[in-house]
Amino acid sequence: MKLLLLLFALGHYLDNWRRNVTAAANALDKTLAEENFRDVIWYLAVMIGLFAFIIVAILVSTVKSKRREHSNDPYHQYIEEDWTARYRSSRATYCMSFLLQQNNKVHLII
């Protein structure tokens, strides 16, 4: 009977000790989870800020480089004249060939 009472007291003591350890561990886990969440928020804020800064820097540099490009540049004028000449000649050829259709015959002017 004394042995049974001793085992019961020892079991009760160990259960209380385990509950105290578990409660302390739970409190520690809760604190660490809150701190980790705060760290994650700061990490995300910094990464999004860096990404936004890089994107804005790229956009600003692109706009500045486009402003520096003058339409008086000889190469720019050459490209512009080349494309407009091709467009005008192809458009004129199309209009002339459309107008010269007779009896389902197409007369192309090249």
- pLDDT digits over 30-42, tens only? 887 777 777 888 8
Number of domains in the chain: 2
* Same domain (yes/no): 11, 51: yes
- Tens of pLDDT, residue by residue over 69-84, are 665 666 666 666 666 6
| 3-class SS of residue 51 | helix
Quote the CA–CA distance of 35 and 41 in Å, as a whole number.
Answer: 10
* Same domain (yes/no): 39, 83: no
Its domain, for residue 98, covers: 72-110
- Alpha-carbon distances, residue 9 vs 14, 23, 105, 110 (angstroms): 9, 21, 113, 111
* Same domain (yes/no): 82, 45: no
* Same domain (yes/no): 12, 56: yes
* Same domain (yes/no): 50, 79: no
